[in-house]
Structure 1
Amino acid sequence: MGEFLRVLTDNKQVFLDGFTTTVQLFLIAAVGSLVLGTLLGAMRVSPVPALRAFGATYVNIIRNTPLTLVFAFLVFAVPKLDVNIDYFPSACIALTIYTAAFICEVVRSGVNTVATGQAEAARALGMSFSQVLTLIVLPQALRAMVPPLMSVLIAMLKNTTIAAGFSVVEAGAIPAYMSERGEPQMAVLTWIVIGFLILIIPLVALQRFLERKWAVAR
């Protein structure tokens, strides 16, 4: 146990820096993917065929593309086009682009749970599509969207470790750094697991809180 604790205490700054970058990646990509995913979800249920086609094409392409390839495209291919983006912003963009496709499907599924009569009644009152979606449909759909939405965000938090392979010093880069120091890898990996659990548990607690709150509201 003493050796296990020593790994953390002797390298606390390494763990702190790594997980700080992980949290930053997660927060930026979470906001970006929620905004982009919601816009794509609105396209998927739009009455305009071109928007529906664009949303469906985006989702089908991105969901069937490995996240590693999205990272590689932004880190290695984009600079070939004379567009220079640092590694950290590239990681944020890659996570946002990839996660937005899954959030789009969550939004579309949530919208489909709302009775069509709700939208029809709103349109009969003269409301536009954007008004119907933002004022009538999405607030009701949000209740059904919470569980899968939180699952997608938790998956994204774990996906941040892929950034370590593209020169972003976050939690996923800690094992390689510790290996150079000769630290026992089992202890290092265990502390990383504990760190991710500390980050994930509040998200799970938030999900359960919202589910209980809205269940009563119904």
Structure 2
Amino acid sequence: MALLALLEDETDLREELEAHLSASGHTVLTAGSIADFELAAAGARLDIAIIDRGLPDGDGIAVAESLRRNSPTTGIILLTARGSVDDKIAGLQGGADHYLVKPVKLPELSAHVAALLRRLPAGWRLVAHECCLYAPDNAKLVLSNREFDFLALLARGGSRVVTRREVVEAFGEDWFSYDLRRLDTLVSRLRRRCREEAGHELPIRTEHGRGYLTAELIESV
């Protein structure tokens, strides 16, 4: 699974590509203009962006250049009707990893996406709209709402220790009456589920007497 952004102004093609990529297991953010793309992708850690060039509010190369500056690990595929050698050179020099000329076969596009994903760095990702945690190898752990809230709080804390009191109060509970054994059980169960269902140790470290912190970066998507 990867987080993809698709910037294509032709509605039918955009919907076809989105359906195909979603069926392949990816999460796809879509936009029909540069302005909509910037809004949809704001704050997201994109794995791959698939970008048309001829857009109603500009050239997709400008989007590729901006992405390459601001998000150097994002893979970029330009998918466009402009197929001259000069166009391809401009696209690749502008930051694209791959330059595909329309019409493109869907399996070919999938192959390019897969090729990019094989070499892109990956990490732990907390995906809000799926309420899931993804391991670096894309193994998926479906979370309860409380498990998600716990991990989201720690992800926001970064390398800082998040105290047990902070966790309890983030749950909307009263610190003085809350039974901390409930929190211990939640964390223990989450560790076990991560091992059994995702095949990884949960990237959370317990600081005894203090609280919890992330042992590895968890990015919120």
* TM-score (structure 1 length as normaliser): 0.34
Higher relative contact order (CA 8 A, sep 6+): 1
Higher helix share: 1
* TM-score (structure 2 length as normaliser): 0.33
